[in-house]
Amino acid sequence: MIKINCPSCGAEIPFRSSTSVFAVCSFCKSTVIRQDLDLELIGKMADLPEDISPIQLLMSGRFDKKTFFVSGRIIVKWEDGYWNEWYLNFDDGSTGWLAEAQGDLAINKPVASGLTMADKTALQLGSKHSLDGRNFYVTDVKDMTCVGSEGELPFRGIEGRQSLNVDLSDRKGGFASIEFNEEDGVSAYVGRYVEFKDLKPKSFRVFSGWGRP
């Protein structure tokens, strides 16, 4: 873990993941870009919208016999609502995302897509695309906008960041997602839906009156 002082308030900003390049100071909400051992101040993060998610920064869990911890979150909106994308770091050095939308959870890990930005209009509902050696079919295509972020991320999770998001299914319980972003290019992820209790979560957020998972 690397600790670097916030260029705005001087508080320590811990970078627990070697893949993280962007962070939000937990004290003054400054947004910073990491360049080796230096931080560049790029703005301020607005207050995040309230939610009732049990997931929070530094929550840990297990997935596919590997331990992970939550190091960051990006909140995105589309025309019908909001969802959370939680950035995960695994004990083997790999990374992934825990998508949380309308009560559903899915863990995805990055894979090669074979796509370029020019392909974003080719993925229509029902079309087939191969990811990680499996055939997936497009189930949803939507524009999404970042409304806030916290913790550490592998890209600039600034307010207003816009992307085209494509969800896919292998029709056997598998889930995949492809993101087209003008700054970061094409990112693809493959995984599956999960139940919160099956992740064996620790240090999760507890609400008064709720039972444990």
**Tokens for 37?**
């051992």
Q: Which of 44-58, 134-148, 196-210 has the highest mean pLDDT?
A: 134-148
Domain with 31 in it: 2-44
Q: Is the residue at 207 inside a domain?
A: no
- Considering the domain architecture, whether residues 77 and 108 belong to the same structural domain is answered as yes
Is 51 part of a structural domain of the chain?
Answer: no
Residue 209, pLDDT > 70, answer no
Q: Are residues 31 and 75 in the same domain?
A: no
pLDDT score for 211:
55
Among 11, 38, 41, 46, smallest CA distance to 26 is for 11
Q: Which one-letter amino acid corresponds to residue 186? A: V
- What is the rounded CA–CA span in Å between residue 80 and residue 64? 32
Q: What is the CATH number of the domain that holds 11?
A: 2.20.28
Tell me the C-alpha distance between 70 and 212, whole Å.
19
pLDDT per residue as tens digits for the range 67-77: 999 999 999 99
Lowest pLDDT segment from 23-27, 173-177, 206-210: 206-210
Span 76-115, pLDDT tens digits: 999 888 999 999 999 999 999 999 988 899 999 999 999 9
Residue 70 forms part of a structural domain? yes
- 28 and 125 share one domain: no
**pLDDT the model gives residue 212:** 56
